[in-house]
Amino acid sequence: MTKSNIALIGFMGTGKTVIGAKLAQTLDKEFIELDELIVNKAGKSIPQIFAEEGEIQFREYEMEVCREVSQQENVVIACGGGIVLNKLNIDYLKQNAIIICLKTSPEIIFQRISKDGKEKRPLLNKADPKAEIRKLLQFRAPFYNAATEYQIDTSKLTVDEVVERIREIYESAQA
């Protein structure tokens, strides 16, 4: 069965948003960011959700928007880094999407997070965000590996190169 969606998963700071937006444009699909849908649903920012309602409630919102978006067609979905923690999310996404995982080094992740401001990512808003990145990456690696066979290391590639690789994967999976 052909799948008309592409879901990008991977740790925070691996480029899902930038690459997803470009990919959607290239493939003439709609770009959807799950974090944005969560913010709309909750009526507050992600740091506010974590602070006022807690991570468990955040994961509930995440599961709801993931289920909803999985029913759409012709969309590129950029998922939050923790999407893989709940296997149901991956099952929903797989209904209509090819899932692709973006990877990069902890150093690059740290640089990008620092540039955005660590308060944007409540999970890394810690005294030692570098150590937290390493810890979370190690814990989550098996979840990312289990969710997909398609992994792209974006460390040494341009956005256009990554988009091209994803397009190839997507097209060969349709054949």
Considering the complex, state which of residue 46 and residue 69 has its C-beta at the smaller distance from ligand S3P: 46
Pick the closer one to ligand S3P by CB: 138 or 174: 138
How crowded is the C-beta side of 29, counted as CA atoms within 13 Å?
A: 24
Cα–Cα dist 32/4, whole Å:
14
- Quote the least distance from Cβ 130 to ligand S3P, whole Å: 15
User: What minimum distance in Å lies between the beta carbon of 172 and ligand S3P?
Assistant: 27
Q: Which amino acid is at 137?
A: L
Least CB distance to ligand S3P at residue 175 (A): 30
Q: What angle (nearest 5°) sits at the alpha carbon of residue 81, between those of residues 133 and 164?
A: 110
Give the span between the Cα atoms of 123 and 67, in whole angstroms: 23
According to DSSP H, which parts of 71-158 are helical?
87-96, 106-116, 129-147
Instruction: Please identify, using beta-carbon distances, which residue of 85 and 169 lies nearer to ligand S3P.
Output: 85
The Cα-based distances of 138 to 43, 55, 142 in angstroms read 32, 20, 8
- In the complex, the smallest distance separating the C-beta of residue 34 from ligand S3P, rounded to whole angstroms, is 7
3 vs 118, beta carbon nearer ligand S3P: 118
Interface positions with ligand S3P (CB under 6 A)? 12, 16, 35, 46, 80-82, 121-123
